[in-house]
Amino acid sequence: MPNLTRHQPATTPNDLGRLFVERANAGDVEGLVALYEPEAVLAFPSGNFASGHTEIRAVYQDLVATAPAFQAGAQEPAMISGDLALTSTRLVGGAVTVEIAHRQPDGTWLWAIDQPNILR
């Protein structure tokens, strides 16, 4: 059963990808939303963008309803500059993700921009 009350924070930018796979496979929509800043932007397959937690939640509710199985891909080391980091992963099927993570005041990391597939 998804943990809807407390979620492990990302202490490094690269934690975000691992946490995404764990939470998506668990069907934990709130856990997925918790990986993003409140005003984050997420691209999704229809070519649209979701802005903010409410819209991102709707995207992930639709996604987990189909119960896909996610596998960890080959994650590149994060490129960090101050409080920003570029993360990317080559997924098992060949897609490549690119995200901008932002260090929070408490030292944890959240995604601010998420492009799940730059190879279309």
Strands 74-75 and 48-51: unpaired
pLDDT at 120: 54
Residues 30-64: pLDDT tens digits? 999 999 999 999 998 778 899 999 999 999 999 89
User: Which of 32 and 67 is assigned the larger pLDDT?
Assistant: 32
pTM, 2 dp = 0.90
pLDDT over 70 (residue 2): no
Contact yes or no for 99/114 (Cβ under 8 A):
yes
